[in-house]
Structure 1
Amino acid sequence: MLHDKQFFPLMRQGSFFTFVGEALDDQLYAAAQAQSQSKGMLIAGAIGAALAQTYIPDHSAEPTAYGLDMRTGAIAPYPGAHTSVRTDTAYIYVYRPAQAAGAPPLKVYVDGHEMGTLGAGQYLELPWARFGKPLQLCLGSWPVAKPCQFVVPNAVRLNYLKVNEPAAPQPWQWMTPAQGAVDLDELDKRAR
């Protein structure tokens, strides 16, 4: 999807889709900065030092989940007022086809934490219990710099992500649940 002059991959969530974009400018942070600067000019010494210790983090441009209603085209933060918040765990299966034989193993990271290593014909099950929160998936030692992707996984169905060959333009390929299940069944048969 094209949004604010950038392309974002969509993830189906029932009758709508989600994507991960940047958060809007943090108005609370901007107001605190303006107030701190104006007070800093008027007050010096110990009071100024006390103000400097008051720290408000800047959440501008952080990865944020958005929902896209395909009927109206409306974009809103996800989960929003019309989303029933659940604590369901989403499951993502990341796999490499058996045809990748001879390819070096790849490390898979979620939010900077190593979750496992994928060789040819292997898969990993990645649970995600933070409903509505984006996660960052990355591949280590991939030929392109930082092959990472932000996504909000679907907690209602299984999510399948195939790792393409290094020569492919995109390292990731989201698969339909039906195709992903068939691919994993085939990998299990080959492993026996």
Structure 2
Amino acid sequence: MSQLENKVFNALGSDTRIRMLELLSEEEMHISELARTLNISVPVAAKHVKILEAADLVERRIFGRTHVLKPNKDNIYIAMNSFAPTKSIEVEKGTTLLDALRGVAAIKVKKKGDREVIISTDGEEGLYVYEINGDFSEKSVQNCVLDEDTTIEWKKLEPVTKLKLDIHVKK
């Protein structure tokens, strides 16, 4: 585990800091506003914020004497990736990613038009994407041909709400 991952997990080991991140994910706030909302003193809030900053989980912008905070969600995702298992597989040159996946996971495929789409991996239904050596691919898994040693990151897209809209149509 990297030093950053250790700092992230340490920072997430406090209910107060987790609550701070939840509040900041809703809106940017300054430290005194966080303290007031959490019913803690400003010095205690500042101490928690320093831990979150050390883990690079929050970003601070300074306007005069006001320090406004917002979350840095990328590092949470980086830390969570450390839980993904790594499986090694040896395949023949020219093997498709679809066939390689079948060698390490139970996959369920559904025909959509002229292509096959993976709808389940090891019993987990969902929408999946993949990266090849850190880059997203435009190719389908049956058109991705493996000609050299490659690292594939197989990712399930989780339904995370980025924005909720409550729309009222005028009558």
Normalised-by-shorter TM-score class: under 0.3
More strand by share: 1
The structure carrying a bigger helix percent of its residues is 2
Q: TM-score, normalised by structure 2?
A: 0.23
Greater relative contact order (Cα 8 A, min sep 6): structure 1 or 2?
A: 1
